[in-house]
């Protein structure tokens, strides 16, 4: 598999954008059953709330959903079919790590697309206008991530919790998803990481950076929280009730 073109222009026959939604985590920090992607949010499973704006966004042509292996059939019937998520072309079994799940989702796409939009299944408050903006940026730049500038003072701390240095706040951004990449770039990065045993990547753009490809940052949204703890879930419920 080779790297994509050095130009920012996509080949005419590869303008299709496919969203990969990794949602195969166990949600241990939530400390509850069911797993966080299936807890109720706005009278729907959280994962259905996450998927809906991708279904509604005209910039996204198809969706690949990655879930725990034992939940594949459940997700097909109780999320994709029940909520009419017709853009979901595949529901596939994930891996042990997020990095593995994204790679398996990429493999399920095949090569008939130009852009891949990767978004955490546990970020349900993304909206279709924001997705549209990120995909548009992905057509203008080779790799795009969303992030928020740090508001707090940032310290580098060692394993003994001793401060090593203060980092310039203006240089620190807190990364979110969605992130948009050329299909060939991100597929190559994940395949290389798998074959060469690169350290675990919780962020897909870090793999792109290792290939020497420049990554462009656009400002994210403070509403686009990741639901990890019970507090996050309550915050998401509050934000959904206050659009």
Q: Taking the CB of residue 176, how many other CB atoms lie within 10 A of it?
A: 24
Residue 6 lies in a domain: no
Per-residue pLDDT reduced to its tens digit, 128-140: 999 999 999 999 9
Span of 4-18, 171-185, 193-207 with lowest mean pLDDT: 4-18
Mean pLDDT across the stretch 222-230?
Answer: 95
Q: What is the pLDDT of residue 198?
A: 87
DSSP conformational letter for 9: P
Inform me whether the pLDDT recorded for 12 exceeds 50.
Answer: no
The CA-atom distances, in angstroms, between 33 and each of 65, 219, 237 are 21, 34, 18
Inform me whether the pLDDT recorded for 26 exceeds 90.
Answer: no
Residue 26 lies in a domain: yes
Residue 236 lies in a domain: yes
236: domain CATH number is: 3.90.550.10
Number of domains, the chain: 1
Residue 7 lies in a domain: no
Residue 3 lies in a domain: no
Per-residue pLDDT reduced to its tens digit, 68-116: 999 999 999 999 999 999 999 999 999 999 999 999 999 999 777 999 9
Residue 203 lies in a domain: yes
Mean pLDDT across the stretch 51-77?
Answer: 97
Q: Which residue has the higher pLDDT, 155 or 25?
A: 155
Inform me whether the pLDDT recorded for 145 exceeds 60.
Answer: yes
Q: At what angle do helices 128-140 and 46-56 cross, to 10 degrees?
A: 60
Give the containing element (helix H, strand E) for 194.
helix 183-196
Residue 217 lies in a domain: yes
Containing structural domain, residue 33: 13-241
Residue 204 lies in a domain: yes
């Amino acid at each position: 598999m080779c790297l994509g073109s050095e130009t920012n222009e996509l080949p005419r026959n590869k303008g299709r954008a496919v969203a990969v939604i990794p949602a195969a985590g166990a949600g241990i920090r939530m400390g509850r059953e069911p797993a966080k992607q299936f807890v109720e949010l706005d009278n729907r499973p959280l994962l259905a709330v996450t998927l809906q704006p991708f279904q509604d966004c005209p910039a996204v042509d198809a969706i690949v959903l990655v879930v725990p292996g034992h939940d594949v059939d459940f997700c097909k019937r109780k999320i994709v079919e029940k909520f009419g998520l017709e853009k979901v072309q595949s529901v596939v079994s994930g891996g042990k790590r997020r990095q593995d799940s994204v790679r398996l989702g990429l493999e399920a796409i095949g090569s008939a697309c130009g852009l891949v939009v990767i978004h955490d299944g546990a970020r349900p408050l993304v909206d279709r206008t924001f997705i549209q903006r990120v995909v548009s940026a992905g057509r203008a730049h080779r790799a795009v991530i969303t992030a928020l500038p740090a508001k707090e003072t940032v310290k580098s701390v060692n394993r003994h919790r001793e401060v090593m240095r203060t980092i310039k706040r203006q240089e620190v951004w807190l990364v979110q998803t969605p992130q948009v990449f050329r299909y060939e770039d991100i597929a190559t990065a994940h395949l290389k990481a798998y074959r060469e045993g690169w350290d675990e990547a919780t962020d897909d753009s870090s793999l792109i950076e290792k290939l020497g490809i420049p990554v462009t940052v656009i400002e994210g949204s403070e509403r686009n929280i990741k639901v990890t703890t019970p507090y996050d879930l309550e915050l998401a419920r509050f934000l959904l009730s206050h659009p």
